[in-house]
Amino acid sequence: MRAKDEFGPEYVLEVFDAKTGMQGVMVIDNTACGLGKGGMRMVPDVTTEEVMGLARAMTWKNALADIPFGGAKSGIKFNPKSPQKEAAIRAFADKVRKFIPDLYIAGPDMNTTEKEMAAFADQIGNKMATTGKPASMGGLPHELGSTGYGVALCTRVAVEFQGKRLDGMTVAIEGFGNVGTFAMKFLSGWGAKIVAVSDSRGVIYDENGLDYGALMKTKAERGTVTAHGSGKVLPPAELFKLPVDILIPGARPNVITDANVGEVKAKIVSEAANIPMTYEVEKKLMARGVLVLPDFLANAGGVISSYCETMGWDEKKMFEVVTEKITNNTKLVMGRTKDNDTRAAALEIAKERVRKAMAKRG
């Protein structure tokens, strides 16, 4: 188990439900900036150490996003395809309810959606137990596209900070789910040329550019981007080697490794996914002059949306706040970066904010 340090964790709660067989863990890492906020994932092999690491990542993400949340995370060790999925969610809610919502607010994560958030809040008996709920419960579901919008905006702000224009830049996007689709939508609308998109079946690559509406239609009707009429179909791993200006890893962790980092040709890597590569691999790109926009900066649109939901704001206000926060924080990180190490600059800002909050609270 990860050792405690100056920042936390404050609580690590492991739970078990005999009826469903559900095992779960909730970690509240640091609440100096506000109550703990972090998603609830359901995977069969989740571990306490994994959730502790993710909770710490949320401490930094929320502090860097400049929202009044601390860091937390929860994991449910359960088969997400089981017909008992909702029962497991409700059992987990019962086990952790004394912490909700005074110390922890849940949100969607791997294999949990607005449906599971609704069940969790219903079981707790408090709509403030979660964010990412259905709109009918006063929620701002992540399906509105806040994360993908934030990734696109962070990328555009960084490009403009360098004195360049996004218009005409080529982009490759890994993943065509909630994040990837909205990243493509906004980047295309701002003049970028999306030349490659992948999903679990492979990559569709067209150096002349892919049309957002047409690709969405293909995905809806055929179930995969690889069924798109124009372009070449490539194996998933080839996406990271394409000659593009901007690469957006937006699906799985650790997709850029020591084995393929030397083949990355992009000048900007905008991390839509959490931990698409290790810091050591990032530093190899940075040493080559590649601008890396770290995950806890680039993909913070979702948690900023969660903050807006707790404030009772509507979709329009939410996008205004995401725009303001992502823009300001991206400029701040770019301005503080030394030796092209954007992650070090972002982490330095986050730690400063958490330490300041800890000092205020004694």
Catalytic residue annotation: 73
Which of 348-359 are b and which e, b meaning 16 or more Cβ less than 10 Å from the residue's Cβ? Answer: bbbbebbeebbe
The residues, any chain, with a CB within 8 Å of residue 162's CB and separated by 6 or more, are 291
Provide DSSP, 107-155: -B-TT--HHHHHHHHHHHT-GGGBSS--GGGT---GGG-HHHHHHHHHH
Q: Nearest to residue 352, comparing CAs of 38, 59, 37?
A: 59
Q: Nearest to residue 359, comparing CAs of 11, 10, 32?
A: 32
State the Cα–Cα distance between residues 348 and 342, nearest whole angstrom.
10
Structure tokens at 230: 């124009």
∠ CA 61-178-186, nearest 5°, is 85
Kind plus residue range of the DSSP H or E element containing 259: none
* Pair 189, 199: CB distance under 8 Å: no
CA-CA-CA-CA dihedral for 330, 332, 334, 335, to nearest 10: 160
The alpha helices in the chain, defined as continuous H runs, are: 48-65, 85-96, 114-124, 146-161, 178-189, 212-222, 279-287, 295-298, 301-310, 315-336, 342-360
Kind plus residue range of the DSSP H or E element containing 26: strand 23-30
State how beta strands 36-37 and 11-16 pair: unpaired
| Residue 287 CA neighbour count, 13 Å, CB half | 8
Read off the DSSP letter of residue 236: G
